Amino acid sequence: MFYSVQGTLSHANPAFAVVVCGGVGYKCYISDTTLGALPKVGQEVLLYTHLAVREDAMDLYGFATETELDLFKLLISVSGVGPKAGLAILSELAPDRLTVAIAAGDAKAIARAKGVGSKTAQRVIIELQGKLGVLGDMDNAEQVMAVGAANASGNAADAVEALTAFGYSKSEASLAVGRLDGTLPTEVLIKEALKALSRL
């Protein structure tokens, strides 16, 4: 129903923002990622929106980018993930980090979101791993391809496993290894990936 709202930002806090359009203030629930992208109160803002309709309420959710909105819609399509859980996941992981976590099968990163358990995080990964291509973001697409290559098998997969044993998350390890030539020996992949990770 509402694709976006554009107007003056009249209020913002970690839970929601209010955008005044034509004299009407629209309360939009937002993620921490969107909160960080908002201008100062009194300035013009554009939020991409999703209207969640329930029996007892109609809630508007606002996002700074179309990519974040698309990810939110994908998240709430997962059984057991409602709008609040979707927003919590996007507050914990910015869109680029979330797509990498899903591609890498990093349930621990997703489960760090408030109110999201490990079973729900696993369900997000299972149901969304094949759907990330619909986002159309080239940077994300390249990261997802790199992660997929690292997790396939062989030396790259062994290097990812070793890096996670060193304490790196599966997302970080997969992304670092996935950007390297997977035909290199495992030891070289680990060494080069550690160099890349130390620069982050």
Shared domain check, 92 and 26:
no
Q: Which domain, by its residues, includes 45?
A: 4-64
Query: CATH number of the domain that 94 lies in?
Result: 1.10.150.20
Shared domain check, 163 and 103:
yes
Shared domain check, 84 and 57:
no
Shared domain check, 144 and 96:
yes
Shared domain check, 98 and 53:
no
Shared domain check, 20 and 107:
no
Shared domain check, 10 and 86:
no
pTM above 0.85, yes or no: no
Task: Give the tens place of pLDDT for each residue, 81-140.
Answer: 999 999 999 999 998 889 888 888 889 999 999 999 999 999 999 999 877 765 544 455
Quote the CA–CA distance of 62 and 46 in Å, as a whole number: 9
Quote the CA–CA distance of 67 and 13 in Å, as a whole number: 22
Domain count, the chain: 2
Measured CA distances, 184 to 104, 156, 177 (Å): 20, 8, 10
Of 12-21, 22-31, 46-55, 145-154, the poorest mean pLDDT is in 145-154
Task: Give the tens place of pLDDT for each residue, 27-79.
Answer: 999 999 999 999 999 999 999 999 999 888 899 999 999 999 999 999 999 99
Quote the CA–CA distance of 143 and 96 in Å, as a whole number: 8
